[in-house]
Amino acid sequence: MIDLDLQIACNDTDLPSQEQFEGWTQRILSQFKDSAELTIRLCEITESQQLNHEYRGKDKPTNVLSFPFEAPPGIELPLIGDLVICPQVVRQEAIEQEKTFHDHFAHMVIHGCLHLLGYDHIEQEDAIEMESIEKEVLATLDISDPYRDEDFD
């Protein structure tokens, strides 16, 4: 069971529904956890830029930020963390990459959830593993390979 707290802190339109967010998180997290709790916050560009600058040292807005929860030693909680997603950035990327807004949003949720589970894409080997999981899960949602146009040498 996935317990999702969806916070809408933006004025964007045509956002995915609560049910879509629940479906996407269920699809990815159920592969790794029997139960999980997380928050997804949809924010404006200014908040995304502020958080990206504060936590990653990058002074620009970004599509998704992940904040994994680390329980104190000896404490077992299903809480895995928080995702902060900027719909305006996701929309712009979807246009640039010729993807639908909701398909790209699904990818950002799945990508962010994998970060909450400890996956990253800093090293090429790790990126290949993470992207493979993303592509597999997205395919179950009838969403094509989001990396189809990228060339990795």
Q: What is the pLDDT of residue 152?
A: 38
Model confidence, pTM:
0.94
With tokens 């990459």, the residue in question is: 97
Taking only the tens place, the pLDDT of each residue in 55-108 is 999 999 999 999 999 989 999 899 999 999 999 999 999 999 999 999 999 999
The whole-number average pLDDT for the span 10-33 is: 96
**What interhelical angle do 45-56 and 87-96 show, nearest 10?**
90
- Give the C-alpha separation, 152 to 57, whole Å: 25
The set of residues, in sequence order, having a beta carbon less than 8 Å from that of 30 and lying 6+ positions away, is: 2
- Give the C-alpha separation, 144 to 133, whole Å: 13
Taking only the tens place, the pLDDT of each residue in 27-59 is 999 999 999 999 999 999 999 999 999 999 999
Q: What is the pLDDT of residue 150?
A: 52
Q: What is the pLDDT of residue 149?
A: 60
Q: What is the pLDDT of residue 14?
A: 94
The whole-number average pLDDT for the span 108-118 is: 98
Confidence at 153, pLDDT banded by 50, 70, 90: very low
**What interhelical angle do 18-29 and 124-140 show, nearest 10?**
130
Taking only the tens place, the pLDDT of each residue in 127-150 is 999 999 999 999 999 999 998 765
E strands in 63-145: 64-68, 79-85
